Chains A and B, each alone.
Chain A
Amino acid sequence: MALRTEHELHQRRRGRNVGLGLVLAAFVVLVFGLSVVKVTRGDPMQGFDHVVRPEMAPADPATGGNG
């Protein structure tokens, strides 16, 4: 009798592993997409880059303008 290398159990295991792999890949895509949306949707952001920019300073209530 020929040895069956592929049992129904192995197919089920493969299906389970492929399913889990797809779920994990989808989760990575989801977190990436969510990060992109969260970062790009907010108010315009300016990072600190060692250059003085008066428009970044909090508004002065006395003068009604910045700085």
Chain B
Amino acid sequence: MSDINANGEVNGTLTGEAGFGDYVSLLKPRVMSLVVFTALVGLLVAPVPVHPFVAFTCVLFIALGGGASGALNMWWDADIDRVMRRTRNRPIPSGRVQPGEALGLGIALSGLSVMMLSLAANVLAGALLAFTIFFYVVIYSMWLKRSTPQNIVIGGAAGAFPPMIGWVCATGSISVEAVLMFMLIFMWTPPHFWALALFMNSDYEKAGVPMLTVTHGKRVTRNHVLVYTILLVPFALAAGFTSIGGPTYLAISLALNAGFLWGAWRIWQRDEATAEADGFATEKAVFKFSLLYLFLHFSAFLLEAALKGFGLGGW
């Protein structure tokens, strides 16, 4: 091979060639962990039992589909990632992975995950996964992200599909429970993300991404956090009255929604001077709470399903 010169440089840079870990990081493993958890819950709370090995395969390929869309997102957004400090060290902007490699990996894994999910579960689950990848890459990354400050609202749908796909893997159809699990994540994404945007000094402005905090200011963002949190509550509570809910879920959900509403209300009441004075303490606390909010809601679905095994749980 002639791609190493006398100084140990590779093609002029010290990074040059990607390691295995670089390809793994193209798949956004941290995002995948949320996909794995919510898809698994969707699959386990469904009323149709699934063979453990099939369930494992389904969750694996749902996660791989999510990872593939992450790779395609990194391929498309390489120019933005190069500008922003947070993303500058990603495999493509740092030069370790060529854009074409990420594109190839993304397309190959998309095809593989959709095909394998269709075979392992059913065609509807595979089609939903294909739509999720399309939605995240084309609708969110290519279209909305750079054109509207509401990008995160509609783009949040991509992250909301996994529990629905998990449910469809087990049942073969979409029902009200699957829709409510979707809506729970869909409506949760905006207040969760905007709470973060209020205290994160990101370089979206420099990168030309129209984030709400940049285009309309933080006052408007605070209003949006409150409104979207209020809109989220009915969906979270409604799930408690379906077959995946029950008194335990409803009690947990009521407490969590009260906490989230209280946090959103406090964010809404504050102005920039107050927030900066205490280092955005409330915004940071609400952001952390929002992570707990989603995790505990889906854990409560699991708890209800587990209780049913002992003749408890459900209505």
Tell me the A residues contacting B by CB distance below 8 Å: 7-9, 12-13, 15-16, 18-20, 30, 33-34, 37-38, 41
Contacts and interface: CB of A to CB of B under 8 A. Distances in A.
Contacts of B23: 16, 19
Contact of B20 (A9, A20, A30, A33): A20
Choose among A7, A18, A30 the residue with the greatest number of B CB atoms under 10 Å from its CB. Answer: A30
B17 A12 contact: yes
Interface in B156-175: none
Contacts of A9: 3-4, 10, 16-17
Nearest to A26: B60
Contacts, number: 36
Interface residues of B, number: 17
Given A15-B20, A33-B57, 16 more contacts: A7-B4, A9-B16, A9-B17, A16-B18, A16-B19, A16-B23, A18-B20, A19-B23, A20-B20, A30-B57, A34-B53, A34-B54, A34-B119, A37-B51, A37-B53, A37-B54
Nearest to B61: A30
A13 B10 CA distance: 13
A5 B19 CA distance: 19
For chain A, what secondary structure do more than half of its interface residues adopt (helix, strand, loop), or is it mixed?
helix
Interface string B4-30: 100010100000111110010000000
A18 B51 CA distance: 31
Interface of B: 3-4, 8, 10, 16-20, 23, 51, 53-54, 57, 60, 119-120
Nearest first, the 10 closest Cβ-Cβ pairs linking A and B are A19-B20, A12-B19, A16-B20, A37-B53, A15-B20, A37-B51, A33-B53, A34-B57, A15-B19, A9-B10
B120 A34 contact: yes
Contacts of B18: 12, 16
6 contacts: A16-B18, A16-B19, A16-B23, A18-B20, A19-B20, A30-B57
A19 B24 CA distance: 10
